[in-house]
């Protein structure tokens, strides 16, 4: 029986495209479901949380799904089900989001989600906000994290964001991109991972990352 990948439906805008990309990466090895049913998420072998829009709106939408936060805490934190957050879904892993106020995140990856010019600490000059389009990935020397297996330093992925995570622990950052300075592109700790970019829009590189997540045994 194939594994089940639950893509959480909480009103975010890019659920279907993410689910289609995951299904393409999985082939016949997994069943991909888009669901707002907490019980279905609890039964899943892997969990994906896409996100699009403002941090507080996404956190609010997720909180409004009956039982979802409780199921995520049990499945991901207690039982160790592999989890992948995408874009704002990754940002929700942080302690706080500083978009239009201060908003609590999951606290699974320490740090704050800040507007890009706050990260830079200066006027971005000619660099536009939001950061949109293709940019390269890099990571510290040595073997990349299993999520990035088969990728090369400098491979391109697609970004669309105005805010990014300033991680409290550098070891949680598995990939960065450069846009006025280093920006967190991917994080991982234990069975929890997240990517700031959109793998579903990143062609072959994105599909490789999704396939790696489906094979990942943290």
Cβ–Cβ under 8 Å, residues 187 and 165: yes
| pLDDT score at 125 | 66
pLDDT at residue number 123: 64
Most confident of 17-31, 120-134, 172-186: 172-186
pLDDT at 12: 76
pLDDT in the model for residue 122: 62
Pick the catalytic residue from 103, 131, 145, 198: 198
pLDDT tens across 43-88, in order?
999 999 999 889 999 999 999 999 999 999 999 999 999 999 999 9
Tokens of 201: 């829009």
Q: Which residue has the higher pLDDT, 79 or 1?
A: 79
Contact between 97 and 112 under an 8 Å Cβ cutoff? The reply is yes
Q: How confident is the model at residue 1 (pLDDT cuts 50, 70, 90)?
A: low
Using alpha carbons, select from 132, 135, 106, 131 the residue that is nearest to residue 120.
Answer: 131
Q: Catalytic annotation on 198?
A: yes
**Of 58, 99, 131, 200, which is the active-site residue?**
200
Check 87, 99, 131, 161 and give the catalytic one.
Answer: 87
Residue 63: both structure tokens together: 């909180």
The question of whether 58 is a catalytic residue gets the answer no
Lowest mean pLDDT among 59-63, 113-117, 118-122, 157-161: 118-122
Q: Would you place residue 173 in the very low, low, confident or very high pLDDT band (cuts 50, 70, 90)?
A: very high
Confidence at residue 15, expressed as pLDDT on a 0 to 100 scale = 84
Query: Is 103 one of the catalytic residues?
Result: no
């Amino acid at each position: 029986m194939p594994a089940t990948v639950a893509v959480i439906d909480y009103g975010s805008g890019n659920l279907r495209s993410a689910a289609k990309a995951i299904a393409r990466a999985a082939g016949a090895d997994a069943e991909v479901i888009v669901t707002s049913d907490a019980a279905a998420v609890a039964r899943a072998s892997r969990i994906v949380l896409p996100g699009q829009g403002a941090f507080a709106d996404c956190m609010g939408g997720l909180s409004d799904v009956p039982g979802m936060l409780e199921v995520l805490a049990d499945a991901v934190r207690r039982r160790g089900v592999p989890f992948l957050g995408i874009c704002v879904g990754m940002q929700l892993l942080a302690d706080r989001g500083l978009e239009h106020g201060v908003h609590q995140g999951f606290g699974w990856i320490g740090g704050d989600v800040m507007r890009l010019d706050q990260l830079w600490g200066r006027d971005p000059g000619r660099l536009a906000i939001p950061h949109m389009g293709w940019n390269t990935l890099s990571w510290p020397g040595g073997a990349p994290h299993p999520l990035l297996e088969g990728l090369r330093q400098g491979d391109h992925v697609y970004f669309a964001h105005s805010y990014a995570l300033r991680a409290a622990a550098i070891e949680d950052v598995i990939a960065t991109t450069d846009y006025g300075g280093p920006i967190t592109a991917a994080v991982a700790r234990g069975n929890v991972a997240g990517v700031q970019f959109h793998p579903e829009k990143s062609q072959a590189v994105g599909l490789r990352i999704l396939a790696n997540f489906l094979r990942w045994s943290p």
